[in-house]
Amino acid sequence: MKQIYPLLLILLSLGCKTTTEETATGFPTGRWIDLTHDFDENAVFWPTAESFHLDTVFAGMTPGNYYYSAYQFCLAEHGGTHLDAPVHFSEGKWSVDEIPLERGIGEAIVVDVSAKADGHPDYQISVADIETWEAANGPMPEDAILLIRTGYGKFWPDRVAYMGTDERGQEAVAKLHFPGLDPALATWLIENRNVKAVGLDTPSIDYGQSQLFESHRILYGQNILGFENLANLEELPARGAWVIALPMKIKGGSGGPLRMVALLPEG
């Protein structure tokens, strides 16, 4: 996968000599995939989180006879396509501003469990799912960004289909239903593999009916990042894509809005 390293060199001063044709800007040729849902009034947020609001400051022609527009927005850290910083569930671990840039940039693998999760909203991704992927695709690379496609991205932004309820408030949390990581898998990843981040096309790393958020606690306790509410995972191959995940840099933040993209290099 050394053909992607010039991209990392530009972003991080990492990298090595390229083995493929580059564009004039130094970026390798390939196709970019946007893994981020739009932030608008339809964006899905946790039932207890403040949803996205956009207010118009001004939009139109000014007295000087030129067009001008400006807006202000308000939203919770954890909603829409967003990052979970480790401090979200682990005291003393990285806040958003403390996360090294390279932790959100790297080779991605995509484990597709959509067939198993179809019709089973409480499905928990297991160690067996990873072992099945490795049997077909080879060992998980070191420092991988693990993306799990449950198929629930197709329901966005229908809250009932996507997360089990469109109700708001604390009482709605008990009505959440969507797939997530089995805590046994989170522990297995810590003990047997080396991943930098885990991302899903669901509202949470843990499945909807979780009450203790064990997978969050296990992963974030090791400074592994979480990416939630991802889009377009069906456009990525099982391996071969590279991901760039850059959140809003909120000092001391436990999470934040995330712009995340993937590059599928040519060749």
How many domains, in total, are found in the chain? Answer: 1
Mean pLDDT of 179-190: 98
Q: What is the CATH number of the domain that holds 248?
A: 3.50.30.50
**DSSP for 29-48?**
PEEEEE-B---STT--B-TT
Question: Which strand (E) or helix (H) includes residue 131?
Answer: helix 127-137
Backbone angles phi, psi at 21, to 5 degrees: -65, 140
In a domain, 65, yes or no: no
7, pLDDT greater than 90 = no
User: What was the pLDDT predicted at 78?
Assistant: 97
Mean pLDDT of 191-196: 98
In a domain, 60, yes or no: no
1, pLDDT greater than 60 = no
25, pLDDT greater than 90 = no
**pTM for this entry:** 0.90
Task: Give the integer Cα–Cα distance in Å for 39 and 45.
Answer: 10
Domain hosting residue 186, numbered range: 2-50+76-265
In a domain, 140, yes or no: yes
User: What was the pLDDT predicted at 266?
Assistant: 84
pLDDT digits (tens, 9 = 90+) for 120-173: 999 999 999 999 999 999 999 999 999 999 999 999 999 999 999 999 999 999
User: What was the pLDDT predicted at 215?
Assistant: 98
User: What was the pLDDT predicted at 29?
Assistant: 82
In a domain, 56, yes or no: no
Beta strands per DSSP E along the chain: 30-34, 53-61, 67-74, 82-84, 105-112, 124-125, 144-149, 180-181, 195-200, 225-228, 239-247, 255-265
175, pLDDT greater than 50 = yes
161-170 long-range Cβ contacts below 8 angstroms, 24+ apart: 162/44, 162/202, 162/203, 163/44, 163/202, 163/203, 163/208, 164/121, 164/208, 165/47, 167/47, 168/47, 168/48, 169/47, 169/48, 170/47, 170/48
226, pLDDT greater than 90 = yes
User: What was the pLDDT predicted at 28?
Assistant: 73
In a domain, 64, yes or no: no
In a domain, 63, yes or no: no
Q: What percent of the chain has pLDDT over 70?
A: 90
In a domain, 228, yes or no: yes
User: What was the pLDDT predicted at 231?
Assistant: 98
Task: Give the integer Cα–Cα distance in Å for 263 and 199.
Answer: 16
In a domain, 66, yes or no: no
